[in-house]
Structure 1
Amino acid sequence: MASSGWIEQVIGRIGARQAELKLALRVTIAGTLAFAITKVFNLPQGYWAAITAVVIMQASVGGSLKAAVERFMGTLAGAIYGGAVAALLPHGSPLGLAGAIAAALFPLALLAAVKPSFRVAPVTSLIMLLPPTGQAIGPLAAAIDRVAEITLGNIVGVVVSLFVLPARAHTLMVEAAAKVVSLNANLIEVLVGELAADPKGRSALQTIHPQIRAALKKAEAAADEAVRERKSHLTDAADPEPLIRTLYRVRHDLVMIGRAAANPLPERVLDKLGPSLLRLRDETCTLLLGLAKALRTRRLPPDSTGFEEALHTFVSETEALRSHALSHDLPYGSFGQVFALSFAFEQFRKDLEDLMARSEELAAHRSHETAES
C-alpha cells in the first residue's frame, strides 16, 4: 500500500510537469540531432550547432523562432566583424591579441547594449580571435564555419520545436491568463475580507499580488511570442493583444477596489451592506473561477446573471444610504469609501464583460478548428 501511494505521488508530480518534460525532450532531441548532422557534414567544430540548438529551444514555437533569429543575426554580425578584425589587425603576440580583442568587443558590446537581440555578437567576435579557430584555418574560413554551424543549429532547433510535441505560444498565453483570472478570484475574497476586518487579509495580499504580477508577465511574454508566430504564419489564432490589455484593465479595477477596501467598514455600514457585499463576493469568485476554467478549456464563459444581480443589489443598497439616516452620522471618509467601492465594482463589471468576450472569441476559434479537422 505504501509503495502504491508513493508511485501515485510520483505520477502525480510528473503529470503536473508535462510542459517542462516536453521542453526537456525537445531540447534533448534538438541537441542530439544537430550534433549528428554536423558529423554527417564533417563540420570542424560541430558542437556549436548542438549548443545553438539547445540554447534557442524555448517553451513555445514563437519563442524558439525569436531566439533563432536573434542568435543568427548576432552570430552573423559577430562573425563578419570579428573576422574582419582578425584579418586586418595583427594578433600574433599577447599585446597584439589584447588590442584586437578590445577592437573586436567594444563596438559590438555597444550594439548589444542598444539592441539586446545582438547580445551574442560580442561572444562570436571574441571566438573568432581566440585560438584555435581564428589562427588555425584563417579568419574567412572561420567566419564561414561559424555561421554555417550556428545556422544549422538554428534550423534544427526550430524544426524540432515545430514537430516534436510543439507548444504554441498562444496556448501558453491563455493558460497564464487563466491563472491570472483564478488568482483574481482569490484577491476578491481577500479584499472583501478586509472590509469586514479579517486579520488574515493583509498577509494574504502580500502573497497574492506578486503571484498575479508574475502570471501577468508570463502571459505578456507569451503574447509577444504568439505575435511572432502569427507574423510567421505558424498559427491563425486570434490576436493576443486584446486579451492582455483586458487583463491589465481588470487588474487596474481590482487595484481600485483594493484601495476602497483598505480600511474596514464601520460596523453600522456592515450591518446594512454586509449580506449584499458577501453575496457579491461569492458571485464574483464563482464567475471568475468559471471564466478561468473556460479559458483553459476554450469553452464559452459561464453565465454572469448571478454576478449581475448581486452587483445590482449591492449598488442599490449603497444608493439607499444617501437617504438613510445612518449616512448622516457617518464620517465623510467612510461614506466616500462605500461609493468608491460601488464605482470600482461597476467599472470592474464593464472590463469583466470584455474579458468574457475574449473568452468567447477563443471558444469560437476552437470550434472553427474542430470543424475544419
Structure 2
Amino acid sequence: MVVTLVLVASTEPLPVPRFRLWWKSLRRWKTWQYSARLTLCLAVAGALGQLWHQPKGYWIAVTVAIVARRQLDGALRRAGERALGTAAGVLVGSLTVWWVPSSWWLVGTVGALAGLRPFLRDRSYTLYALCMTPLVVLLLDFGQATTWETIGYRLADTAAGCAIALVVGYLPWVRREKALPAAV
C-alpha cells in the first residue's frame, strides 16, 4: 500500500501575523465601539428589567441583543424590520405556547422554524425575525402554559428592547453629516 502526501500551499496568513494584526486593531476605538454600544444597551435593559418587576424581565435584554447591530449603516431600517418581526413573532410564539399543544407538535414546530431560519435570513429580515422569535419563545417556554398577561409583558419588553437599541445603541453613535447647500 502506497500513501501519497500532497502539500497544498495555502493563501491564508500564518496564525502569528493574523494574531498581531488583531492585537494592533485593539488599539483603535472602532474595534471597541460595538462592544461599548452593546454593553451600554444591555446595562440599560438590565436596569429596566430590575426596576420593572415582572416574571421574565430578561426578555428586554434578549431583544436588545437581537436588535442591536454591529454596523450602523442601515441599522435604523434593519432595527425597524427586526422590531416588527420580533413583535409579530412574540405574538405567534406566545400564542403557540398558550395553546399548549402536544410535545411532538412543539418539536415539529421548532424543527420547521429552525429549518426556515437560513432560508429567510438573506431574503427578508422581518420574516427572519418573525421566524426566530417564536423559535426562542418555544425553546424558553417549552411545555409551560402562557397567559395573556405574559404575552402582554413580552410585547412590552420587546418594545422596550427595541427602543433601547435605537435610542441608546444607535442614535447617539450616528455621525450626522451636515448637507452643504447645493450651488445654483
Common fold: TM-score over 0.5:
yes
Contact 1:26 1:161 in 2 (8 A): yes
* Matches of 1:161 and 1:70, distance apart in 2: 16
Spell out the pairing of 1:180-219 with structure 2 (5 A cutoff): none
Asked if 1:152 is matched to 2:160, the reply is yes
**Cross-structure match for 2:14:** none
**Cross-structure match for 2:60:** 49
Contact 2:25 2:31 in 1 (8 A): no
Pair 1:18–1:69, CA change in 2 (3 A): same
2:84 to 73, 89, 97: 73
**Cross-structure match for 2:150:** 142
* Matches of 1:126 and 1:55, distance apart in 2: 13
Q: CA deviation at 1:35?
A: 0.9
Pair 1:35–1:111, CA change in 2 (3 A): same
How large is the RMSD of aligned CA atoms in angstroms? 3.5
Larger Rg: 1
Pair 1:63–1:22, CA change in 2 (3 A): same
**Cross-structure match for 1:196:** none
* Matches of 1:110 and 1:14, distance apart in 2: 32
Pair 1:136–1:150, CA change in 2 (3 A): same
- Matched residue type, 2:78: A
Contact 1:35 1:47 in 2 (8 A): yes
* Matches of 2:43 and 2:78, distance apart in 1: 19
Contact 2:87 2:155 in 1 (8 A): yes
Following TM superposition, the consecutive aligned residue runs of length 4 or more in structure 1 with deviations greater than 4 angstroms are 12-15, 59-62, 108-111, 235-238
**Secondary structure, counterpart of 2:169 in structure 1:** helix
CA deviations 1:279-330 (Å, max 9, x no partner) are xxxxxxxxxxxxxxxxxxxxxxxxxxxxxxxxxxxxxxxxxxxxxxxxxxxx
**Cross-structure match for 1:105:** 113
CA deviations 1:130-158 (Å, max 9, x no partner) are 453772442x3333222222221111121
Contact 1:78 1:121 in 2 (8 A): yes
Q: CA deviation at 1:103?
A: 9.5
Contact 1:64 1:161 in 2 (8 A): no
User: Identity of aligned pairs, percent?
Assistant: 26
CA deviations 1:219-252 (Å, max 9, x no partner) are xxxxxxxxxxxxxxxx5655xxxxxxxxxxxxxx
Pair 1:133–1:75, CA change in 2 (3 A): farther
CA deviations 1:149-180 (Å, max 9, x no partner) are 2221111121123565x243xxxxxxxxxxxx
Contact 1:85 1:103 in 2 (8 A): no
Contact 2:76 2:170 in 1 (8 A): no
Asked if 1:129 is matched to 2:149, the reply is no
Pair 1:86–1:19, CA change in 2 (3 A): same
CA deviations 1:93-130 (Å, max 9, x no partner) are 4324335x269739x75993652332122222123334
* Matches of 1:153 and 1:160, distance apart in 2: 10
* Matches of 1:134 and 1:79, distance apart in 2: 16
**Secondary structure, counterpart of 2:160 in structure 1:** helix
TM-score using structure 2 length = 0.64
CA deviations 1:34-55 (Å, max 9, x no partner) are 1111111113222222233234
Contact 2:110 2:138 in 1 (8 A): no
- Matched residue type, 1:98: V
TM-score using structure 1 length = 0.35
- Matched residue type, 1:154: C
1:30 to 41, 45, 48: 41
Contact 1:78 1:122 in 2 (8 A): yes
Alignment size in residue pairs: 157
For structure 1, the 5+ residue unaligned runs are 1-11, 169-234, 239-364, 369-373
2:124 to 110, 115, 118: 115
Contact 1:127 1:134 in 2 (8 A): no
Contact 1:57 1:157 in 2 (8 A): yes
Q: CA deviation at 1:31?
A: 0.8
**Secondary structure, counterpart of 2:54 in structure 1:** coil
